[in-house]
Structures are given as structure tokens and as C-alpha cells.
Structure 1
Amino acid sequence: MVKLQHSISSRISLIIISTILFIMILTGILLYLYESKQSYIQLKEDANVTLKRLLANLKTPMWNVDREEIDSLISLEMENNNIYAIKLYDELERLNVGKIRYYNGDVGNMIIDQDIKSLFYIQKTIEREHTIIGNITVYFTDAHLKKSLRFTIFKIVIQIIILTIMIIVVISMSVNRVIISPIIQLTKTVNNFSEKNFNVRSDLDLENEIGILGDTFNSMAQIIEDYSEHLEDIVEKRTNQLNKLNKELFIAYDQMKKELKIAQKIQESIIPKNLDDFKNIGIGGYYMPMALLGGDYYDVYKIGENKLGIVIADVCGHGVPASLITIMAKVLFNNYSNKDKTTGEIITMINDELLNIMGEIEFLTAFFGIIDFDSGMLHYSNAGHPEILILKPNNNFINLTANSPIIGFCKNVDFLTESIKIGNGDKLILYTDGVIEARNKKNDWFGIERLKECVYKNKHLPAKELVTKISKEIYDHKGNNILEDDIAMLIIDINFDFEEIDNNWG
């Protein structure tokens, strides 16, 4: 509290003292300049009067005037402290009488003519009946003037200092009564309150900011006192509410978890498990969602007696919405696949149906192919999906790149159908972007080249074993990094010549 009082009062006093000192110094400078100017003007006027008086008294030729009388006349004028020296010359420019004031203020005679340095001087000739009978020079000094000015300034400074002290005392007393004392009182109240004496209140009755502060403290103290008195009841009430909400949340979470498990089982059911039903064709598949529900899926199914449909798709996003769209996509591909339709026509119908149901909300990329066992042709449409690889027996890779836009973006778009000849020994590698975009700790992707290298090195493995090998390579590459996307792969081995096939291929 002492520090608070000292801090506020000292700062206010410092401001007041600084202001008054500034005013005092400025006033002293201005006053000194003004008095100096006025004194100099008055000195000029006195000089002219003095010279006129001397000239009037010296009209008689100096050889006819008693020297003692002249000396007495000049000595009388030297009583003026502003006169430094007087020189009287005869008509032959000879020094007749000379008087000078010494540093101690005494007046003495000049023995010889000497140069005089003064503030200014006035020189006039003495004439009678138009005849020059001599001249006189009066020298003036400002020593007495400066001494008088210094005394005047000193008196003013003393007066201002006394006035300053009086003002400081008055203001300090006022500040202490109006500001410091109430703040000290309020501080004591707050300190007492901080010691858990919640019933203390400020009794300041002031109609100013400090009074408002005291009232605000009282309101706050009342609220805190009420809370402290009913704290246990409030805590118990809040605890019961939290327990109830927590129980409801747990029930909702448990219900959601069960529903997600059901959704997961439904989504897993759309991924074909038994891929051994197709003779002379080896099929291996792998699917790993990054979360409980994913947005990737693949499918293999018969179309008529001599065609095989293959699909791999990647829905934008994850979770429940993506999983629902994969289920819809599976149903639509199976329903719209017809032996008389091209892959482009089938995807066009699926695109329009999805937009009718979902609107322009979600989209997916997909590779859809139909293997025709009569012609040995693979007819396909790649709707914005990563390139599909075909490893030929001569160890060359053929890339089936995207030839159509993504599905679900907009209506009235063309999905193209292209065809390629396939034969015995070919390997078809279908995958989603989660395969090639798996990252390691160095942030390096698994990449398409590493995928090709893995397929090439293990080309002798059947499709199922090759899928397992590639998935292991992916997990070895990413290490402890979490999956950033779903992973889906589908590998198909062509193990016969189409010329030798009969209708019992599947």
C-alpha cells in the first residue's frame, strides 16, 4: 500500500513540478529578454538627456570656466551608475577633463587619454555662436543594468519556487484525500477478501470512478460468496448432470459402434471372398480400409455365358458416406452390366443414376473392364482412375490410363470404351491410389515404379500369392506410419489361349 501511495503521489508531483519548472524557466527567459530590451531603450533615452544637459552647461569657453567647476559638473553626471566614462576635449582636441568608473564602482580621473570599451557611447561637439569650442564623449555600460536584472529575476524565481511548493502541497493533499486514501481502503478490502473473508464489502461512498470500482467489487464479492455458500450443492448438481450426459453419450456411442460394426460387415460382404470359381483364371484380391469403414472396393462377376466383369473403384472420402456409395456402386454395376452394353454405356447409366440419387455431392473413380472369352479382348473404361497395368509374357508393361472423367461429377458426359487383346500369361494388376501413395517416415511414396518392380520380381507367383507379396512390400515401406488412404488390389492371371476355351470356363 505504501508503494502504491508513493507511486501515484510521486508521479503526480513529478508532473506538477516539471510543468511549473518549465513555466518558470520560460517566464524567466521571456522576462529577462523583455526587461533587457526596455532597460536598453531607457538607457538610450537617459544618455541623450545626460548629453543635452552637459552641452547646455558647457556653452561657455572652457578657458573661461573654472576647471574645478567643470570637474564638479562631470563628477555630478558620473553619479549615474549607467555612465562608464566621460571625456571633455577643448577645441584643439586635447583632453581637458576625463572621468572613468572602476570595477569597484569608484570614479577616478583619467591622467591621459585612453581607449574606452563600453556598451555604447555618444559624442557631440560643443558650439557657441556657430564656433566649435570643444567636444564631449559619454560612454555607457550595462553592468548596473545586468545587476538590476539579475536581482529582479532572482526575486521572480524565489516567488515561483514558493508558489510551486504551495501548489504541490495543496494538490498532494487533494490527491491523497480523493484518490490515494480510497484506493488504499479498497486495497485493504480486496486483500481481506483474498483471505477467504467473503463477507467483507467496500464502504466507499464516492460518485467517481473509484466509487464505481468499489460497487463493482461488491457485486463480484456477493456472487462469489453465494457460490461459496452453495458450492457443494452446485458441484453435486453439475456432477449428476454430467453423469447423466455421460451415460447417454456412452449408450449413443455403444449404439453407433454396433451400427458401424454392422455397416462394416455389410461393406465386407460386397468384397468377393471366393475367387476360385473361375477356371483357367487366377484371381487374387486384397482390401484394407484406413478406418472402420472405407471407400474402396473391387468386384469380379460373370456377364452372360462368356464374359467376365471386373471393377475396382475409389470413392472420394471415408467413413459411412463413402461406404454407402461403394454398396450403391456394386449394386449398380451388377444391375446395369449387360452382354449387349459397352463399358462406356454401362458407366454412363451408373453416373446418371448416382447423380439422381445423391446429387453432385460425392464422386468416385473406377476402372471397369469386360473380358470377352470369345474374342480374347478386354473392353474397358477408365473413369479418372490410376492407370491399370498388364504384364505381358515378354516382361513388358502396358498401361491402361484414364480415358473418361470421374463418375458422379455431372451428367451428359461421354465415357469412352477401349479394347485391347489379352492372352495366355498376361497379368492384370488393378489397384487404388492408396497403394502407390503409401508413405514412409521420409515422406516417400510407394509409387508406381516400385509397384512395377515388385510385380516383375514376383511374376512367377500366382495372383493370390502376388497380392500378399505386394501388400507386405507396402507395409514394409510405410513402417510405423499410419495409412492415409484405403488400399485395394485385384490381380488376374490369364492362364489359357482363348482359341482353346469352351463355354465351361467359369
Structure 2
Amino acid sequence: MNEQYSQFILEENKYLKGAVEKLHMENDTVLLLIEFLELLLKTKGIEKVTRLVIKHLSELLGAKRTMLIRKESMEGLYARYIYEDGETKKINLMRTELGKDYFFLYVEKVYVINETPASIVMPIKYIGENIAGMRFELDSLDELEPHKIEILKRYGPICGLVMKNQILLEEVMSEKQVMLEKNAIINEEKKIILEQNKNSRRELKLAQKIQKKILPSGYINFGDYTFYRNYKPSYYLGGDFYDVIECNDENSIVFYMADISGHGVGASLLTVFLKQTLKGLVKYYEKKGERLVPSKVLKKLQKRFLDIEMDEEMYIGIFIGVIDIESHTLTISNAGHNVPPMHVKGFERTVGTYEISGLPINGLGLDLFDFDYEDREIYLESGDSFILLTDGAVEERNALGEEMGIERLKSMFVRNKDMSLEEQFKIMLLEMSRHSRKSRFGDDIAFLAIHREY
């Protein structure tokens, strides 16, 4: 009996040791990805971005030689980079010179080639478009850690997105330089664009923890409106995310609250995708001169999500709104966000919620072409507040298994409606601690509130 028990203990210790090692490996992977994303998002110019990508990934895999082929802006012209012995060399090739040795430019997914020399090939794509391809030559595959292949699968779409943005930005800047010589007004437009890019880079700056590095926080004001954003992390690296985007017309403000499925690397990368894609969609509609309609933005977001080919179990629940700060109208739409927004009416001292159905943004393409998201328009009176939360606030339970619940939260916000939005957030956390008897909660809590002053 004692011998069997000892064997059981040994097996349990072995299992726990393996679990701890796996957790350390995942944490190291997350930190590695965050550091790389921070560098990538701060780097300007397609040439610098390309050299950063080939150097970083080569060192990550310990490749003895790495080749990257990328399209140039000129039709039919390609750039070939070779990274070897810590040095990157570049030459240009015509399409007719791309022989069988450059097949990896057109692959659809990461491949491991177990021959001499052993190698790994990786596509870099953006919405189905081949931006670049990479081939890493290794001394041997024997010591290659399996999780690094998974890292490459995550890197490809993100590198493609950043490279495509840099290519488009360089094309735009080139066109504007020509126009500058003809029209002095364009010079002012260029300054505005550069300032917007500077603000975007500042927002995307990453700190030690991913939530602090990507999530904006604190107050932001637009006319008669005050926005307050804050975040309470759980024990895990989660997928709650929100943002506020000012449109070029200075009258429209886009805001959203999202809850991305899962924790860890996948959720972290999707927050980067979500932030960049929604900013890009806002600019897309502005460039076309079309009014921003939340349901149309969600439809486009679903299409972009399918293009990056994430795992089928990954999805995004997102609530999005557009507020006109002159007419005080708020147009809202929902794609699977399961906490209804709260409308605190200051004069009436009441609070209501809005139930709007809609499928989450998913990788299955469920009813993508048949399903239309619903738009609803509401009016904000002076003194009204509009509050968005993620399910961590609603589903926190006490020892009896009772959830905090939306009704408790509604009562709390009405009682404290005259407090500042920051004070209301702090009171909410205090009420949740009293309910659950815990200071650290089981899920992330994201908070986004809008208040009309006058």
C-alpha cells in the first residue's frame, strides 16, 4: 500500500512539475510576443519593419540562415533579404527571376521541412494577399521547441497587417509630397496626418503588462461629453478591451467594449488586431465620405476576422456605438456582447438597459452574408450617463453562488449618479468586494462610461 502511494505521489509531482514548466513557457511566450509587438508598432517604414521581422524571428528560432521575399511597391519587383551571421543583405529581383527556390512566397501556412538543410517556411499575409514569405534554415529540427511553431503561426497575420499598413502609408506620403509642391493646403493636411499617427503610436505603446500597454485609461473629453475608462485585471491575461476613437469631423466619437474569448497569447494578439482594424475601418468610411453606421462597421469587422484565419474557437463579443456630440444622439449596435449597456437618466434618477441581439465576431462565418446587425438610436439628456461593462462585473459570485447581477449594479449607479465617473468605478469595485468577500476577482472587469454635462 505504501509503495503504491509513493508511486502515486511521484507521478503527481511529475505532473505538477510539467504543468509548472508549461506555464513558465507560456508566460515567456507572451512576454516575447509583447516585446516584439511593441517594437513592431513603433517602427516606421517598410524597410525597417522588414529588417526587424527577419532579425527577430531568425534569432527566435536560432536559424543559421534566413531568407525573406517581399513585394515592392513597383509592379513586378520583389525584394530579397538574407539574414546570416548577424547581417542582413538585400537585393531586388524581377518576378521572372523568382524560381522554385522562392516557393515559400506563395505557401498558405507554416511548414516544417525535414530534409537537408532542415527548414521552416512561413507566409506573411494580409486579408488573403501574399505580402511576403520567409524560409528559416536550421542545423537540425531535433532541438526545435514545438511552441515556437505556434508562435510563427501567430506572427504571420500580425506582421502582414503592419507591413501592409507601412506600404500604404509610404504610398500615401509619396502622393502627398507631390501635391505639396502644387498646393500649400496639403502641407497642413500632412501635419494633421503625422499628428494622428503620433497619437496612435502613443496609444499603442506597451508597458510591462499587456492590459496597461494597450488599454487606454482615465478621462477624455469631447465638447459637453466626458468619457472615463478603467480596467481591473484578474489573475490571468484576459481579453477584455475597449477604446474611444475621435473622428476627423470632430463631431462624431466611436467607442466600443469587447470581450475576446480565452486568455493568453491568442486573446492578446486579437486585441492588437481589433484596435488596428477598427481604427482602419473608421478611416475607411471617412475617406469614402460615408456616415459611420455601427452595424456596417461590425459587418466589415466580421469579414476582416475571417481573413486572418484565427482558430475557430476564438471569437469577439463587441458592443459599439457612435455618438454625435452636437445632436446628442447615440447610435448603438451589438455583436454578441452579453452585458447590456446601462442608461442612467440624471433628471429622472432612473436607469434602463438596452437588449440588442447580434452574433459575435467569429471564425466560423456563421450567417456572415445573411445576418444584418441591428442599429438603435437613443438620445442623451443633460446629466445622463451611458455605462458599458464586461461580464466580470456581473458574474462575480459570493460564497452562496449568487452573482453580483445587473440589478445590483443598476441600483448602485443610480444611488451614486452625482459622483464622478472615476468615483463610481471605485464604488462598484468596493460593492463587488463586499458581495464576493474578495479583493481580487475571478474575471477581468472593463469599464467605459460616458457622461453628458450640459
Alpha-carbon shift at residue 250 of structure 1 (Å): 11
Instruction: Quote the Cα distance in structure 2 between the aligned partners of 1:250 and 1:375.
Output: 51
What are the Cα deviations for residues 464-500 of structure 1, in whole angstroms up to 9, with x where unaligned? 111111122112222138633221111111112xxxx
Alpha-carbon shift at residue 335 of structure 1 (Å): 1.2
**Greater percentage in strand:** 2
**Structure 2 length normalisation: TM-score?**
0.51
293, 300, 308: which is aligned to 1:349? 300
Structure 1 position 259 matched with structure 2 position 259: no
359, 376, 379: which is aligned to 1:418? 376
Structure 2 counterpart of 1:429, which letter?
I
What are the Cα deviations for residues 385-429 of structure 1, in whole angstroms up to 9, with x where unaligned? 221010112022231212322112532221122111112111111
Point out the more displaced range, 413-422 or 268-277: 268-277
Structure 1 counterpart of 2:262, which letter?
G
Instruction: Quote the Cα distance in structure 2 between the aligned partners of 1:253 and 1:358.
Output: 22
The answer to whether the Cα contact below 8 Å between 1:299 and 1:312 also exists between their aligned partners in 2 is yes
**1:456 aligned counterpart, secondary structure:** helix
**2:398 aligned counterpart, secondary structure:** coil
Partner residue, 1:402: 356
**Greater percentage in helix:** 1
388, 393, 396: which is aligned to 2:341? 388
285, 288, 291: which is aligned to 2:229? 285
The answer to whether the Cα contact below 8 Å between 2:218 and 2:229 also exists between their aligned partners in 1 is no
307, 328, 332: which is aligned to 1:376? 328
Instruction: Quote the Cα distance in structure 1 between the aligned partners of 2:334 and 2:423.
Output: 26
Compared CA separation, residues 289 and 415, structure 1 to 2 (3 A): same
Partner residue, 1:480: 438
Instruction: Quote the Cα distance in structure 2 between the aligned partners of 1:260 and 1:475.
Output: 33
Alpha-carbon shift at residue 298 of structure 1 (Å): 1.2
Structure 1 position 270 matched with structure 2 position 214: yes
The answer to whether the Cα contact below 8 Å between 1:285 and 1:467 also exists between their aligned partners in 2 is no
Instruction: Quote the Cα distance in structure 2 between the aligned partners of 1:295 and 1:253.
Output: 16
The answer to whether the Cα contact below 8 Å between 1:343 and 1:379 also exists between their aligned partners in 2 is yes
Structure 1: runs of 5 or more not aligned: 1-244, 497-506
Structure 1 position 440 matched with structure 2 position 392: no
Alignment of 1:9-20 (within 5 A): none
279, 296, 314: which is aligned to 1:362? 314
**1:291 aligned counterpart, secondary structure:** coil
Structure 2 counterpart of 1:464, which letter?
E
Instruction: Quote the Cα distance in structure 2 between the aligned partners of 1:322 and 1:495.
Output: 36
Structure 2 counterpart of 1:391, which letter?
V
Alpha-carbon shift at residue 252 of structure 1 (Å): 5.2
Structure 1 counterpart of 2:237, which letter?
L
Structure 1 position 309 matched with structure 2 position 254: yes
What are the Cα deviations for residues 112-156 of structure 1, in whole angstroms up to 9, with x where unaligned? xxxxxxxxxxxxxxxxxxxxxxxxxxxxxxxxxxxxxxxxxxxxx
Compared CA separation, residues 479 and 353, structure 1 to 2 (3 A): same
Compared CA separation, residues 256 and 284, structure 1 to 2 (3 A): same
Aligned residues with identical type, % of pairs = 30
**Runs ≥4 in structure 1, deviation > 6 angstroms?**
248-251
Point out the more displaced range, 284-293 or 260-269: 260-269
Partner residue, 2:238: 294
The answer to whether the Cα contact below 8 Å between 1:379 and 1:419 also exists between their aligned partners in 2 is yes
Partner residue, 1:493: 451
Structure 1 counterpart of 2:263, which letter?
H
Alpha-carbon shift at residue 341 of structure 1 (Å): 2.8
The answer to whether the Cα contact below 8 Å between 2:30 and 2:265 also exists between their aligned partners in 1 is no
What are the Cα deviations for residues 225-263 of structure 1, in whole angstroms up to 9, with x where unaligned? xxxxxxxxxxxxxxxxxxxx99x9899578447437748
Alignment of 1:69-468 (within 5 A): 255-256=28-29, 258-259=31-32, 262=35, 265-304=209-248, 305-337=250-282, 338-339=285-286, 340-359=291-310, 360-385=312-337, 386-392=339-345, 393-408=347-362, 409=364, 410=366, 411-412=368-369, 413-468=371-426
Structure 2: runs of 5 or more not aligned: 1-17, 38-207
Alignment of 1:51-66 (within 5 A): none
Alpha-carbon shift at residue 294 of structure 1 (Å): 0.8
Instruction: Quote the Cα distance in structure 1 between the aligned partners of 2:440 and 2:25.
Output: 28
Instruction: Quote the Cα distance in structure 2 between the aligned partners of 1:259 and 1:483.
Output: 27
Alpha-carbon shift at residue 275 of structure 1 (Å): 2.3
Alpha-carbon shift at residue 450 of structure 1 (Å): 0.6
Instruction: Quote the Cα distance in structure 1 between the aligned partners of 2:25 and 2:296.
Output: 44
Instruction: Quote the Cα distance in structure 2 between the aligned partners of 1:439 and 1:464.
Output: 24
The answer to whether the Cα contact below 8 Å between 1:440 and 1:481 also exists between their aligned partners in 2 is no
Partner residue, 1:164: none
What are the Cα deviations for residues 340-388 of structure 1, in whole angstroms up to 9, with x where unaligned? 2311001100011011113533112111000012322101101222210
Please identify the structure whose Cα radius of gyration is greater. 1
